[in-house]
Structures are given as C-alpha cells and as structure tokens.
Amino acid sequence: MTDDDTSLADLWDRVTGTQAAPTSWLIAATAAAALAAVLSPAPWRLLRNAVTIAHEGGHALVALLSGRQLTAIRLHSDTSGLTVSRGKPHGPGMVLTAAAGYTAPALLGLAGAWLLAAGHITALLWGAIALLALMLPKIRNAYGVLSVLVTGAAFFLISWFADAEVQAVFAYAAVWLLLIGGVRPVHELQRKRAHGRAPDSDADQLARLTRTPAALWLLLFYAVSLGALAGGARLLVA
C-alpha cells in the first residue's frame, strides 16, 4: 500500500469513525450560547446567514429531488435569500420546493443531532463541507459566494486543525444553532405577515398553490421546527 493509499485510508477512518461527546456541561453551554445568540440582535444578524444558507439549500435540494431544474441561489446581506428553479409552476414538485425552506434548518439540525448522538462528530463537519461545496456552483451573487466560502472555511479549519474537544464544541454549537435558529425565522414571518409586510412569503405562495390558508402553512412550519427542536434536544442531552 502506498503512502497516498494510507493517507486516504486514515482520512476515511477519521471521517467515518466515532468520537467522544463533550461533557454534559459543555453540551449545556453550547445550547445556552446558541439560544443567547438567536435571541440577541447583533449575533443573530450575523449567524442568521447560516440559517439562510440552510433555508435556501432546502429549497434547492427538494427542487432537484422533485425533478425541477435548479437555476440560481442568491444570498443577500440582509440575510434574505432566493432560490430559482424551472419546471411546472404548480403541482407537487412546486409545493414541496416551496415548503422546504422554513423546514430545512430545523430538519438539518435534527439530522445533525442524530449524527452527534451516534458519535459521528467529524462526519458531521465534513458532511457540512460537502453540502456547502455542492451548493456553491449555483450561487449567483458575490455576497452569496462569500457567505458559503466563509462558512465552509470555518468548518474545514475546525475539522482539520482543531483538537477533538474544540471540534465537538463547534459541532454541537452548530447543531443547536440550526435547531433553535430554525424557529425564529418562522416567528419573524408570522410577525411580518401580521403587519402585511410579506405578501409573497413561502407561506403565501403555498396558499396560492394549494388554495389553503397561509396560516395553515405557517402552523406547519412551527410544528416542524418545534418538533425538530424537541427531538434534537432529546438526542443531544441523552
């Protein structure tokens, strides 16, 4: 076996192997830090970019899985985003694509919690890098490219250079951010709609597509995000 083969085998073992979870107090500390960041205006404005990446990534993934053609993803400095796909302007594929955005961050957080509960900390970090790399070619604006590159670089640097404890703390904090941060955008959407400031939101688009009340879709977004938070928290603190 050559040195290159040995290096690849070591890398594969590192990614697919299991790592020790941090102590209970560190898990609690990462949860508290994520909660504080989500509730605080300045940290949330910065970290909301990561939630927006997950939101738009959810739209993009489901668009592809439902047979639509993914055209572009844009991420903006005000933490909003836009995913454009081509296909039928109605039907199940369009409905699923529209519904995927607000549910994606929490569901990704739940998947991440499952990986962490199984001890796959490195796999979570490299999985995030892979998803960001797949997303990057479809980004169509400079701020979006910068956001994805900076987020991917953070995951890579932590996974490659940090020690095991730092990796674990970073991974748990990232998952808590998705789980907790997945709820706040739904609440923000509810407030905007109450003041008539989001006439073309995902919920309103779904209402037009399905001829059902937008409030019903908002309720679904709440159910998924809160359910994922409860399930993810149970996995992380078990």
> Tens place of pLDDT for every residue, the chain, 238 residues?
565 655 777 767 777 778 888 999 999 999 999 999 999 999 999 999 999 999 999 999 999 999 999 999 999 999 999 999 999 999 999 999 999 999 999 999 999 999 999 999 999 999 999 999 999 999 999 999 999 999 999 999 999 999 999 999 999 999 999 999 999 999 999 999 998 888 899 999 999 999 999 999 999 999 999 999 999 999 999 8
Residue 99 lies in a domain: yes
Residue 10 lies in a domain: no
Residue 6 lies in a domain: no
**pTM of the complete model:** 0.93
Residue 74 lies in a domain: yes
Residue 225 lies in a domain: yes
Question: Structurally, how many domains does the chain consist of?
Answer: 1
CA distance 88 to 92: 9
Residues of the domain holding 147: 21-237
Residue 109 lies in a domain: yes
Max alpha carbon distance in the chain (Å)? 66
Residue 123 lies in a domain: yes
**C-beta neighbour count of 71 within 10 angstroms:** 13
Residue 11 lies in a domain: no
